[in-house]
Amino acid sequence: MKLTCQKSDLLNGVNTVLKAVSTRTTLPILECILLQATTDGFKLISNDLELGIESNVQATIEETGTVALKARIFSEIVKKLPDNDVHITVDEKSYTTIKCEKSKFNISGQSGEEFLQLPNVPKENGILISQFKLREMIRQTIFSIALEEIRPILTGELIEFKDNELNMVSLDVHRVSIRKMDFESALQNMVVVVPGKTLSEISKILDADDEKDVQIYFSDKHILFELEDSIIVSRLLEGDFPKYEQFFSKDYDTLVKINKQELFMSIDRAALISRESKKNPIKMTIKDNSMIITSNTELGDVYEEIDIEKEGNPLEIAFNPKYFMDALKVIDDDYIHLQFTNPHSPCMILPEDGDDYKYLIVPIRIRA
Amino acid sequence: MKLTCQKSDLLNGVNTVLKAVSTRTTLPILECILLQATTDGFKLISNDLELGIESNVQATIEETGTVALKARIFSEIVKKLPDNDVHITVDEKSYTTIKCEKSKFNISGQSGEEFLQLPNVPKENGILISQFKLREMIRQTIFSIALEEIRPILTGELIEFKDNELNMVSLDVHRVSIRKMDFESALQNMVVVVPGKTLSEISKILDADDEKDVQIYFSDKHILFELEDSIIVSRLLEGDFPKYEQFFSKDYDTLVKINKQELFMSIDRAALISRESKKNPIKMTIKDNSMIITSNTELGDVYEEIDIEKEGNPLEIAFNPKYFMDALKVIDDDYIHLQFTNPHSPCMILPEDGDDYKYLIVPIRIRA
């Protein structure tokens, strides 16, 4: 292999593929980045068996070839090279030379024969979606995936195409998060569950620019994201995702309209007193025109009052403040609706109008 | 105690005094901030026995009084209060109420009787110095204080007034750092050793604005820094600081003029290869018009070349790259001078002109 590329292009590529390099593994080849120069161009490839990334790097190729280099040392060298032409040559023993201005590195590589190529996903079942919108939908749901692996399916997010809508859903035993958007596509009644780690890495690669799109393809076992200069392939999670709609009821006895930021700030302060012990939740007392938030522990006590508009019954109910704050943090609206039934039933957080999002939070029982 | 102050003023004060609050201590009172409202005004005080800080907070005092509050919960409450008037009241049992808009906290305090007042430093032996200049001198020397407590005196920095100069010196077994400035004062041949922790905390409080000064007073055992709204008192380290001038020789056999940034970048890259093991230093080969930096380990090898101007003999010498980079990082000059004698004697880093700084670095022996 013999090629020349720009340091900045090479660094972009390396930073992208680094997201699928294993750091803790018993298979040393998974700690490598594959450099592949063919007549089609120069590519970097990484694959940790769950997630695989290919990134194209603009290069002038004099000799094609392949080498697998330890990701850590290769990425650190690239990061610190001067901002200029980088010359990479690899000999038949995979001995690799990286030259830039008056700087020259020699490191040993591997032939790359052991390197696992990315799974093949046929470009059949596909959609096109704005990178910005996908990133927003991930941000607004990913916080409530389950972290424990007791039910592996819950460590992923449901992506569902139904009735010309795209739904993303995550849930654990304490809460459910749903984001919806109108979305016409040929994929009807299609459901996949994508690992949380994949969504978290992909959202770092997605552009904040609303003009750019990402093409997504689905196969039975994989999902493929196609961006301008890179391809990300992830395995899907197998198993049955809970029927999430069953957790939501259409009835409620108390409806509250409240300023989202005021509610967040008040819970954030009340959590200073409550957090010392999980047995000390925050208590919400819903009156005609105000919500009172209190907490009382060995640290002291706190009293917060917020103006609200209320329909229905007054109520006392208690929550783990973290679950409320996680949801409020990702909502962009100024005012939200809260729906309650009784002190033992979940609270639903909804927009004033429409159904772009729905968050459900299970309360904590308090003694009378 | 009963008073009203602005949240932003209170938060500034809290952030300042937090720097002298113990986090790991067997004396619970050291984890507190003392709130002291007297006819002179409202003050926050902290004291971890090595460092003590007093900060004045603008307040309207209705009733004088004193209370010691746990620093962690008090500072977190203040940080999260709305940006408005804060009302603090303390009853005779030190029960403390903090109110701001519709938010109210009650926390238990202590009377503050046990709280250790700051040591008294008479305002006799004093100097006035620019906050910016003092901050720069600390930044340019503090990195080479000794971290181990084998010789406690080396965990501090020497501050010396001599021949109308102010010198700051730090050293460990591998290196010496000296910053000098012209400084006329009545204090002649005065020497103190200030704990590194004190200098590191004070430099966070000092203003980057060159217009503002800090007044410094010295007593036998303490140093006091007086700023606009706060006072910082630290104990001094006792013992004999090494006679640092003895380490520097005026003779040299090789003088190199080199671009500081190029040298830093080359060593930074070479360190990627050398750092795996302390037994693998970087080697500098000084030729007539160039310096070659190399390193060679199981990771691979690196070759860096930098244009230089040289007087005297060629030389091969090896260093721990970290010690060189630490010094180069804090030097603002574009070009520097390096003085060498032989492969076993320290290298000196000096400015092209003048003697504002001197850094000495001990080499690592290499086999012939």
Percent with pLDDT over 90 in chain A: 85
Give mean pLDDT, residues A324-340: 97
> Residue B24: pLDDT above 70?
yes
- CA A203, distance to chain mean position in Å, is 6
* Chosen domain end from B190, B210, B245: B245
Beta-carbon-side half-sphere exposure of residue B137 (alpha carbons within 13 Å): 24
Least confident of A204-208, B106-110, B233-237, B330-334: A204-208
Q: Are B61 and B37 in contact (CB under 8 A)?
A: yes
Residue A251: C-alpha distances to residues A246, A357, B9 (Å): 13, 17, 48
Q: Are A161 and A190 in contact (CB under 8 A)?
A: yes
CB atoms within 10 A of CB A300: 22
Which among A324, A326, A274 is positioned nearest to A302, based on CA atoms? A274
Same domain, B252 and B314: yes
Write out the residue range of the structural domain in which residue A67 sits. Answer: 2-108
The order of strands in the sheet holding A59-63 is A59-63, A2-6, A85-90, A95-100, A103-108, B300-307, B290-297, B282-286, B315-319
Would you state the pLDDT for residue A276? 61
Going by pLDDT thresholds of 50, 70 and 90, the confidence category of residue A366 is confident
Q: How far is B170 from chain A (nearest CA, A)?
A: 30
CB atoms within 10 A of CB A266: 27
Same domain, A238 and A267: no
Same domain, B241 and B252: no
Assembly ipTM: 0.90
Same domain, A133 and A229: yes
Q: How far is A153 from chain B (nearest CA, A)?
A: 37
In chain B, which residue's Cα lies nearest the Cα of A291? B102
Going by pLDDT thresholds of 50, 70 and 90, the confidence category of residue A86 is very high
Which among A54, A50, A12 is positioned nearest to A33, based on CA atoms? A54
Is B17 inside any structural domain? yes
- Substitution target from B7, B70, B80, B100 for chain A, most A beta carbons within 10 A: B80
Least confident of A48-62, A194-208, B27-41, B266-280: B266-280
CB contact under 8 A, B302 and A103: yes
B114 touching A (Cβ < 8 Å): no
Give mean pLDDT, residues B164-188: 93
Q: Are B310 and B255 in contact (CB under 8 A)?
A: yes
Q: Which residues, other chains included, contact A82 with Cβ-Cβ below 8 Å and sequence gap of 6+?
A: A7, A100, A101, A103, B265
Least confident of A23-32, A334-343, B106-115: A23-32
Q: What token pair was written down for B112? A: 């503050």
In chain A, which residue's Cα lies nearest the Cα of B262? A82
- In one-letter notation, the amino acid at residue A43 is K
* Chosen domain end from B245, B267, B300: B245
> Residue B368: pLDDT above 90?
no
Name the helix (H) or strand (E) containing A214: strand A213-218
Give mean pLDDT, residues A266-278: 85
> Residue B128: pLDDT above 80?
yes
Which among A263, A257, A276, A274 is positioned nearest to A327, based on CA atoms? A263
A81 touching B (Cβ < 8 Å): yes
Same domain, B204 and B315: no
Q: What token pair was written down for B178? A: 């000296």
Is A117 inside any structural domain? no
**Measured at the alpha carbon of residue A63, what is the angle toward residues A60 and A65, in degrees to the nearest 5?**
110
Same domain, A254 and A241: no
Is B333 inside any structural domain? yes
Strands (E), B280-330: 282-286, 290-297, 300-307, 309-312, 315-319
In chain B, which residue's Cα lies nearest the Cα of A104? B303
**How far is Cα B329 from Cα B324, in angstroms, rounded to an integer?**
9
CB atoms within 10 A of CB B16: 23
A102 touching B (Cβ < 8 Å): yes
Task: Name which of B76, B269, B300 is nearest A106 (Cβ-Cβ).
Answer: B300
Instruction: Tally the residues of chain B.
Output: 368
Q: Are A348 and A252 in contact (CB under 8 A)?
A: yes
Is B115 inside any structural domain? no
CB contact under 8 A, B103 and A73: no
Buried b (16+ CB within 10 A) or exposed e, A276-296: eeeebbbbbebeeeebbbbbe
B301 touching A (Cβ < 8 Å): yes
CB atoms within 10 A of CB B106: 17
Q: How far is B191 from chain A (nearest CA, A)?
A: 42
Chain B residues in contact with A273 by the CB 8 A cut-off are 105
Going by pLDDT thresholds of 50, 70 and 90, the confidence category of residue A35 is very high
B164 touching A (Cβ < 8 Å): no
**How far is Cα B292 from Cα B311, in angstroms, rounded to an integer?**
16
Q: Where are the alpha helices (DSSP H) in chain A?
A: 7-17, 71-80, 131-139, 196-205, 260-274, 321-330
Chain A residues in contact with B104 by the CB 8 A cut-off are 302-304
Same domain, A208 and A129: yes
CB atoms within 10 A of CB A203: 16
- In one-letter notation, the amino acid at residue B45 is I
Beta-carbon-side half-sphere exposure of residue A244 (alpha carbons within 13 Å): 24
Would you state the pLDDT for residue A189? 86
Would you state the pLDDT for residue B186? 85
Q: Are B324 and B341 in contact (CB under 8 A)?
A: no
Which letter does DSSP use for residue B113 in this model? T
Is A214 inside any structural domain? yes
**How far is Cα A134 from Cα A214, in angstroms, rounded to an integer?**
9
CB contact under 8 A, A272 and B77: yes
Q: Are B292 and B258 in contact (CB under 8 A)?
A: no
Rg over alpha carbons for chain B, rounded to the nearest Å, is 25
A299 touching B (Cβ < 8 Å): yes
Burial of B211: CB neighbours in 10 Å, binned 0-12, 13-18, 19+: exposed
- What tens digit of pLDDT does each residue of B55-95 get? 999 999 999 999 999 999 999 999 999 999 999 999 999 99
B104 touching A (Cβ < 8 Å): yes
**How far is Cα B205 from Cα B347, in angstroms, rounded to an integer?**
34
**How far is Cα A154 from Cα A172, in angstroms, rounded to an integer?**
7
> Residue B306: pLDDT above 70?
yes
- In one-letter notation, the amino acid at residue B179 is R
**How far is Cα A357 from Cα B111, in angstroms, rounded to an integer?**
50
CB contact under 8 A, A102 and B272: no
Q: SS3 for B246? A: helix
Q: Which residues, other chains included, contact A73 with Cβ-Cβ below 8 Å and sequence gap of 6+?
A: A107, B272, B299, B300
- Substitution target from B106, B261, B268, B308 for chain A, most A beta carbons within 10 A: B106
| Overall number of domains in chain A | 3
Is B120 inside any structural domain? no
Would you state the pLDDT for residue B319? 95
Chain A residues in contact with B291 by the CB 8 A cut-off are none
Check which CATH number belongs to the domain holding A19 and give it.
3.10.150.10
- What tens digit of pLDDT does each residue of A96-113 get? 999 999 999 999 999 988
- CA A27, distance to chain mean position in Å, is 26
Q: What is the mean pLDDT of chain B?
A: 94
Is A115 inside any structural domain? no
- What tens digit of pLDDT does each residue of B202-229 get? 999 998 877 899 999 999 999 999 999 9
Q: Are B286 and B256 in contact (CB under 8 A)?
A: yes
**How far is Cα B195 from Cα B235, in angstroms, rounded to an integer?**
8
Going by pLDDT thresholds of 50, 70 and 90, the confidence category of residue B279 is low
Same domain, B263 and B153: no
Q: What is the mean pLDDT of chain A?
A: 94
- What tens digit of pLDDT does each residue of A117-166 get? 899 999 988 999 999 999 999 999 999 999 877 899 999 999 999 999 99
B325 touching A (Cβ < 8 Å): no
CB contact under 8 A, A77 and B272: yes
> Residue A279: pLDDT above 90?
no
Q: How far is B176 from chain A (nearest CA, A)?
A: 28
Chain A residues in contact with B82 by the CB 8 A cut-off are 265
Same domain, A212 and A284: no
Would you state the pLDDT for residue A367? 67
Helices A196-205 + A131-139 axis angle, to 10: 140
Is A366 inside any structural domain? no
**Measured at the alpha carbon of residue A298, what is the angle toward residues A292 and A300, in degrees to the nearest 5?**
45
Would you state the pLDDT for residue A64? 97
**Measured at the alpha carbon of residue A277, what is the angle toward residues A274 and A280, in degrees to the nearest 5?**
50
CB contact under 8 A, B302 and A76: no
Same domain, A236 and A272: no
Would you state the pLDDT for residue B275? 74
* Chosen domain end from A245, A277, A296: A245
Decide which of A25 and B245 is more confident: B245
Same domain, B225 and B282: no
Which letter does DSSP use for residue B83 in this model? S
Same domain, B32 and B68: yes
Give mean pLDDT, residues B153-165: 95
Q: Are A168 and A159 in contact (CB under 8 A)?
A: yes
